């Protein structure tokens, strides 16, 4: 499928599963990263009754089953892609939408929630950092993200995401869970085949628990 970012750039994506609670999964920012990094996790979440949207960030076009998005590959504009993914799911029947991402995907997600009127039912941050690619997060700005949060990083993350994620957990308000796993891999690299199974299972279990908690909430910012 395709959808538009908030500024009109056409993006290629893929929807897994069905359900009134949906989650967007935004991928990392290295040259080899694309939406297929999330496919295993997306399929697992769909098997548990959730609708999942993965997509290629603007300017990322691996082709074939991995999709193709238009636009220029400008990392600090990916928040517009997040906003567009949220709007697509709400327009196609999702009653609640959780926004999640890894690395630059996590950072664009937080920025979108801070600077637009979207109101996610929850936010998932995996291995983001507090200052990179023209994104900078401070205690004052992250306080705007009041939805429930799941914050994850590997203890040995090569980009320093563990320390930044722990600090972010101290700064944010509202319901939150911090998970630091014993891994030296970055973001969705922790979830790929061949990586330690125990780490992948801990992250997947945390995601499922988080989504169940969101689903059971009596009310959410999404209404």
Per-residue pLDDT of the chain (223 residues; tens, 9 = 90+): 999 999 999 999 999 999 999 999 999 999 999 999 999 999 999 999 999 999 999 999 999 999 999 999 999 999 999 999 999 999 999 999 999 999 999 999 999 999 999 999 999 999 999 999 999 999 999 988 999 999 999 999 999 999 999 999 999 999 999 999 999 999 999 999 999 999 999 999 999 999 999 999 844 444 4
C-beta of residue 154 within 8 angstroms of C-beta of residue 162: yes
Count other Cβ atoms within 10 Å, centred on residue 153.
31
Alpha-carbon distance 209 to 73, whole Å?
33
Name the one residue in this structure whose structure tokens are 């801990």: 202
Q: Considering only the C-alpha atoms of the chain, give the largest distance between any 2 of them, rounded to a whole number of Å.
A: 42
Alpha-carbon distance 35 to 24, whole Å?
11
For the whole model, what pTM was predicted? 0.96
């Amino acid at each position: 499928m395709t959808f538009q970012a908030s500024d009109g750039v056409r993006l290629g994506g893929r929807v897994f599963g069905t359900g009134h609670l949906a989650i967007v999964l935004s991928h990392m920012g290295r040259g080899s990263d694309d939406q297929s990094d999330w496919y295993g996790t997306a399929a697992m979440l769909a098997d548990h009754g959730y609708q999942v949207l993965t997509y290629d960030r603007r300017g990322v076009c691996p082709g074939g089953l991995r999709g193709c998005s238009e636009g220029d590959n400008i990392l600090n504009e990916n928040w517009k892609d997040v906003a567009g993914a949220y709007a697509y799911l709400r327009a196609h029947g999702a009653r609640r939408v959780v926004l999640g991402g890894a690395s630059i995907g996590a950072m664009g997600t937080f920025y979108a929630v801070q600077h637009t009127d979207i109101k996610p039912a929850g936010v998932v941050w995996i291995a983001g950092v507090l200052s990179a690619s023209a994104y900078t997060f401070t205690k004052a700005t992250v306080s705007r993200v009041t939805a429930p949060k799941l914050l994850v990083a590997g203890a040995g993350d090569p980009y320093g995401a563990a320390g930044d994620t722990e600090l972010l957990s101290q700064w944010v308000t509202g319901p939150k869970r911090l998970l630091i796993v014993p891994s030296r891999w970055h973001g969705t690299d922790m979830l790929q085949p061949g990586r330690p199974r125990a780490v992948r299972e801990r992250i997947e279990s945390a995601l499922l628990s988080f989504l169940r908690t969101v689903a059971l909430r009596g009310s959410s910012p999404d209404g």
